[in-house]
Amino acid sequence: MMVHCAGGTTSLMSEADCRKIAIIGAGIVGVSTAIWLQRAGHRVVLIDRNGPAGGTSYGNAGVLAAASVVPVSVPGLLFKAPGMLLDRNSPLFMRWSYLPRAVPFLLKFLRNGTIARVERISAALAAMLHDTAEQHTSLAKGTGAEQYVTTGDYVFGYRDRAAYEADGFGWGIRRARGYEFEEMNETRLAAYDPVMAGRFGFAVRCPDHGRISDPGAYVKALAAHVERQGGEFVEADVTTISFDGDRACGAMTSDGLIEADEIVLATGAWSGALARQVGVVPPMESERGYHIEFVNPSIIPKSPIMVATGKFVLTPMDGRLRCAGVVEFGGLTEKRSAAPLALLKRQTLDLFPDLEYERIDEWMGHRPSTCDSLPLIGSFDKAKNVWSGFGHQHVGLSAGPKTGRWLAQLISGQTPNVDLAPFAPNRFQ
Write the pLDDT tens digit of every residue in 311-327.
999 999 999 999 999 99
Q: Give the pLDDT confidence of 185-241 residue by residue, as tens digits.
A: 999 999 999 999 999 999 999 999 999 999 999 999 999 999 999 999 999 999 999
Residue 275: name the closest of 359, 348, 379 by CA: 379
Give the chain's residues under pLDDT 50. Answer: 1-12, 16
- Backbone φ and ψ of 53, nearest 5°: 60, 40
**Are residue 290 and residue 312 in the same domain, yes or no?**
yes
Q: Name the DSSP class of 63.
A: E
**Are residue 224 and residue 363 in the same domain, yes or no?**
no
What is the signed CA dihedral for 328, 331, 334, 336, rounded to 10 degrees? 30
120 lies in a domain? no
140 lies in a domain? no
Range(s) of the domain holding residue 177: 66-115+148-210+284-370
**Are residue 172 and residue 192 in the same domain, yes or no?**
yes
**Are residue 389 and residue 275 in the same domain, yes or no?**
yes
- How many residues make up the chain in this entry? 429
The domain boundary residue, chosen from 333, 354, 370? 370
Cα 373 to its chain centre, rounded Å, is: 11
Residues facing residue 92 across a β-bridge: 327
**Are residue 195 and residue 323 in the same domain, yes or no?**
yes
416 lies in a domain? yes
Q: Report the CATH number at residue 183.
A: 3.30.9.10
SS3 string of 314-368? EEEECCEEEEEEEEEECCCCCCCCHHHHHHHHHHHHHHCCCCCCCEEEEEEEEEE
Alpha carbons within 13 angstroms on the beta-carbon side of residue 276 total 7
- The span from the CA of 231 to the CA of 244, in Å, is 25
135 lies in a domain? no
**Are residue 365 and residue 379 in the same domain, yes or no?**
no
Helix (H) or strand (E) segment spanning residue 137: helix 132-140
Helix/strand/coil for 183: strand
Cβ–Cβ under 8 Å, residues 51 and 30: no
Cβ–Cβ under 8 Å, residues 62 and 322: yes
428 lies in a domain? no
Cβ–Cβ under 8 Å, residues 211 and 60: no
Give me Rg for the CA atoms of the chain: 21
**Are residue 91 and residue 164 in the same domain, yes or no?**
yes
**Are residue 262 and residue 155 in the same domain, yes or no?**
no
The domain boundary residue, chosen from 370, 385, 414? 370
Instruction: Supply the pLDDT for residue 290.
Output: 96
**Are residue 384 and residue 320 in the same domain, yes or no?**
no
- The span from the CA of 50 to the CA of 110, in Å, is 33
In total, how many domains does the chain have? 2
Q: Report the CATH number at residue 17.
A: 3.50.50.60
412 lies in a domain? yes
Of all residues in the chain, what percent are helix, strand and coil, respectively (each to 5)? 35, 30, 35
**Are residue 76 and residue 177 in the same domain, yes or no?**
yes
**Are residue 191 and residue 298 in the same domain, yes or no?**
yes
- The span from the CA of 162 to the CA of 165, in Å, is 5
Burial readout 214-233 (b: 16 or more C-beta within 10 A, e: otherwise): bbbbbbbbbbbbbeebebbb
List, in order, residues 6 or more apart from 329 with CB less than 8 Å away.
93, 94, 95, 98, 99, 102, 106, 285, 286, 287, 288
Residue 21: name the closest of 368, 415, 410, 419 by CA: 410
**Are residue 193 and residue 231 in the same domain, yes or no?**
no
274 lies in a domain? yes
Return the ∠ at Cα 320 (arms to 315 and 323), rounded to 5°. Answer: 40
